[in-house]
Amino acid sequence: MKKRRRRLLDRADGKLLRKLSHYSRIIPFVMPKRVDSTVQYNQNVDIGNAEKILREMNEEYNTTAGIMDLVIATMIRTIY
Domain assignment of residue 66, yes or no: yes
CB contact set of 31 (below 8 Å; sequence gap of 6+): 37, 38
* Stated pTM of the model: 0.48
- Mean pLDDT across the stretch 10-28? 81
Domain assignment of residue 75, yes or no: yes
Domain assignment of residue 56, yes or no: yes
Domain assignment of residue 55, yes or no: yes
d(CA 54, CA 68): 11
- Mean pLDDT across the stretch 68-80? 93
Domain assignment of residue 35, yes or no: no
Q: Could you list the residue range(s) of the whole structural domain that residue 64 is in?
A: 48-79
Question: In angstroms, how far is the first alpha carbon of the chain from the final one?
Answer: 56
Domain assignment of residue 59, yes or no: yes
The count of structural domains within the chain is 1
CB 38 within 8 A of CB 27: yes
The predicted-structure confidence for 25-40, as pLDDT tens digits, reads as follows 888 788 877 677 777 7
Domain assignment of residue 21, yes or no: no
